[in-house]
């Protein structure tokens, strides 16, 4: 049996029980009310009234029964009409939810329900729409991820095929192609590692070893790692020496955040420019700022720079070094350690990426 007949039948059962209860209650409690009126009539009529008591009680009971019998059909019809309207409204809401859930199951994540009103069905429709919207964003992210990964892998695979064809045709000696092949394989390995880290960060499965940490030591290690790369690009690097307050963080992950931010700043800073680090206490956290003198980021891009594979300059080549997920990883690691990562920028004057790390207690 479908939902509407079952729901209507349940309403009719309630109506029938209510009618039966009304008759039973009338038979049980009504005599106590009309007997008082019969007594008043008997006293008014005198001795003759005593002989009529039985007829009076019978007449009143019969009148009450007939009144109930006459009014019940109309009341039942009104109740059935109200039950039918109420059942249809509930069924429409349930049918809409069923159709919407079938659409979601079929992959139509754009499906939405009308959510007007303030009752539970409207709340359910609103929650359905929120769920559908989130599923749609997840699906869009999945499609974009597959497309971006395919795009990122296309270039190294094309290069590897080119070197393989060159070796096969005898145009290039294997020993000459070995170095280039190694670089392309390393780029693919780096992309795979970054994607694996992004997935773990976004799923909240990143392992952290939080401990009391000296930030000055982390900054010194990162500066040593990047000093040669900055020299080769002709970009200055300014790192404060400290001392700084101790923080509670994972040293390896903190260094990775700094590495990603410095690498990003280096790629976007022209020769003769400068990248500087700033450190200061900000409430109960230590704030680290990475400021470059690059071209800056337009306001319409600021909200999306932390998305996977999003590039402010779509024409920027892979040869510039980024995998497209460095800022995503930096934000995820920062938030996992209890901080937050933000960006501020002015076109033509550079950008500042700043993150916070909780101070050690």
List, for residues 52-75, the tens digit of each pLDDT value. 666 666 676 777 777 777 777 877
pLDDT for the residue numbered 205: 79
Q: In the predicted model, is pLDDT for residue 158 greater than 90?
A: no
The string of pLDDT tens digits covering residues 257-304 is 999 999 999 999 999 999 999 999 988 999 999 999 999 998 888 888
Q: In the predicted model, is pLDDT for residue 40 greater than 80?
A: no
Distance separating alpha carbons of residues 151 and 316, to the nearest angstrom: 13
Ranking 138-152, 214-228, 250-264 by mean pLDDT, the lowest is 138-152
Higher-confidence position of 74 and 343:
343
Q: In the predicted model, is pLDDT for residue 227 greater than 70?
A: yes
Q: In the predicted model, is pLDDT for residue 248 greater than 80?
A: yes
Higher-confidence position of 332 and 308:
332
The string of pLDDT tens digits covering residues 77-112 is 777 777 777 777 777 777 788 888 888 888 887 888
Torsion angles phi and psi, residue 175, rounded to 5: -65, -30
pTM of the model: 0.60
pLDDT for the residue numbered 46: 63
Q: In the predicted model, is pLDDT for residue 348 greater than 80?
A: yes
Q: In the predicted model, is pLDDT for residue 3 greater than 80?
A: no
Work out the pLDDT band at 43, boundaries 50, 70, 90.
low
Higher-confidence position of 322 and 101:
101
Distance separating alpha carbons of residues 290 and 278, to the nearest angstrom: 7
Tokens found for residue 45: 């009529």
Work out the pLDDT band at 48, boundaries 50, 70, 90.
low
Q: In the predicted model, is pLDDT for residue 319 greater than 60?
A: no
pLDDT for the residue numbered 281: 92
DSSP state of 269: S
Q: In the predicted model, is pLDDT for residue 208 greater than 80?
A: yes
Instruction: Looking at the chain, list the stretches that DSSP marks H as alpha helix, in order from N- to C-terminal side.
Output: 3-45, 47-51, 53-105, 120-168, 174-202, 215-233, 251-268, 299-302, 326-336
Torsion angles phi and psi, residue 344, rounded to 5: -135, 140
pLDDT for the residue numbered 67: 74
Distance separating alpha carbons of residues 155 and 144, to the nearest angstrom: 18
pLDDT for the residue numbered 289: 95
Q: In the predicted model, is pLDDT for residue 4 greater than 70?
A: no
Average pLDDT, the chain: 81
pLDDT for the residue numbered 317: 44
Q: From residue 311, how far is each of 65, 177, 290, 325 by CA, in Å?
A: 84, 30, 19, 10
pLDDT for the residue numbered 32: 67
pLDDT for the residue numbered 6: 67
Exposure pattern of 246-268 as b/e (b: 16+ CB <10 Å)?
bbbbbbebbbbbbbbbbbbbbbb
pLDDT for the residue numbered 211: 93
> In angstroms, what is the C-alpha Rg of the chain?
39
Q: In the predicted model, is pLDDT for residue 252 greater than 80?
A: yes
Region 130-139: what's the mean pLDDT? Answer: 83
For domain 143-202, give its CATH number from 2.30.29.30, 3.40.920.10, 1.10.287.130, 1.10.150.120.
Answer: 1.10.287.130
Q: In the predicted model, is pLDDT for residue 45 greater than 70?
A: no
Higher-confidence position of 239 and 8:
239
Domain topology for 211-358: Heat Shock Protein 90 (3.30.565)
Percent of the residues in the chain that have a pLDDT greater than 90, as a whole number: 27
Q: In the predicted model, is pLDDT for residue 235 greater than 70?
A: yes
């Amino acid at each position: 049996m479908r939902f509407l007949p079952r729901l209507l039948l349940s309403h009719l059962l309630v109506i029938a029980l209510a009618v039966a209860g009304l008759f039973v209650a009338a038979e049980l409690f009504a005599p106590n009310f009309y007997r008082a009126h019969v007594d008043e009539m008997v006293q008014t009529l005198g001795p003759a009234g005593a002989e009529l008591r039985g007829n009076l009680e019978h007449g009143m009971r019969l009148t009450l029964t007939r009144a109930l019998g006459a009014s019940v059909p109309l009341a039942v019809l009104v109740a059935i009409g109200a039950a039918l309207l109420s059942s249809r409204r509930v069924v429409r809401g349930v049918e809409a939810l069923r159709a919407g859930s079938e659409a979601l199951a079929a992959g139509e994540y754009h499906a939405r329900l009308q959510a007007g009103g303030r009752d539970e069905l409207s709340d359910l429709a609103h929650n359905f729409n929120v769920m559908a919207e989130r599923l749609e964003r997840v699906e869009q992210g999945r499609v974009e991820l597959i497309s971006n990964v395919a795009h990122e892998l296309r270039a190294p695979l094309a290069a590897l095929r080119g070197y393989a064809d060159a070796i096969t045709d005898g145009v290039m000696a294997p020993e000459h192609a070995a170095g280039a092949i190694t670089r392309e394989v390393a780029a693919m390995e780096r992309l795979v590692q970054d994607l694996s880290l992004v997935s773990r960060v976004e799923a909240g499965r990143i392992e952290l070893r939080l401990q009391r940490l000296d930030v000055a030591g982390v900054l010194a290690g990162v500066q040593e790692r990047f000093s040669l790369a900055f020299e080769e690009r002709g970009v200055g690097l300014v790192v404060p020496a400290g001392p700084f307050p101790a923080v509670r963080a994972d040293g390896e992950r903190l260094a990775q955040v700094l590495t990603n931010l410095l690498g990003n700043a280096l790629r976007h800073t022209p020769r003769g420019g400068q990248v500087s680090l700033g450190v200061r206490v900000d409430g109960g956290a230590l704030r680290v700022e990475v400021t470059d003198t690059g071209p800056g980021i337009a306001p319409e891009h600021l909200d999306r720079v932390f998305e996977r594979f999003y590039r402010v300059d779509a024409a920027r080549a892979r040869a510039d070094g980024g995998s497209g997920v460095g800022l995503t990883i930096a934000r995820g690691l920062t938030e996992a350690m209890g901080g937050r990562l933000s960006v501020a920028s002015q076109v033509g004057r550079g950008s500042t990426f700043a993150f916070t790390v909780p101070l050690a207690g």
